[in-house]
Amino acid sequence: GDSVTQMEGPVTLSEEAFLTINCTYTATGYPSLFWYVQYPGEGLQLLLKATKADDKGSNKGFEATYRKETTSFHLEKGSVQVSDSAVYFCALIPTNDYKLSFGAGTTVTVRA
């Protein structure tokens, strides 16, 4: 079935560092791709999404581009803050489906 594989963590960075979290997917057709974030003590929140090839999702300084040729949706942020410390999940919804399939999550800790 359709699935995502994301970079294992944990990832520890200093403030203002560049963050990349790799995500690749296996799917037939054209799935919709998502990044969700879970801040400490809070529920999952949609961070950004892309629904077709070459789309770029962006929010809160984070970006990810839907790359059909490499089946990837890597998350990037140019300058992280302590408040970006969270667990990040890559996910997809297969074509003509409604169920989210999540990766295992990547824990990111940003130190001041």
Partner 1 sequence: GAGVSQSPRYKVAKRGQDVALRCDPISGHVSLFWYQQALGQGPEFLTYFQNEAQLDKSGLPSDRFFAERPEGSVSTLKIQRTQQEDSAVYLCASSLRQGHTEAFFGQGTRLTVV
Q: Considering the rule CB under 8 A, would residue 10 count as an interface residue with partner 1?
A: no
Q: Which stretches does DSSP call E strand in the chain?
A: 3-6, 11-14, 19-21, 23-26, 32-38, 44-50, 56-59, 62-65, 75-77, 86-93, 101-102, 106-111
Contacting range for partner 1; rule: CB under 8 A; set: 17-25, 30-38, 56-64, 72-80:
30-38
Cβ atoms of residues 32 and 51 within 8 Å? yes
* Among the listed residues 43, 69, 70, 112, the single contact to partner 1 using CB under 8 A: 43
Q: Considering the rule CB under 8 A, would residue 100 count as an interface residue with partner 1?
A: yes
Q: Considering the rule CB under 8 A, would residue 66 count as an interface residue with partner 1?
A: no
Q: Considering the rule CB under 8 A, would residue 46 count as an interface residue with partner 1?
A: yes
- Contact footprint for partner 1 (CB under 8 A): 32, 34, 36, 42-46, 49, 51, 89, 91, 93, 98-105
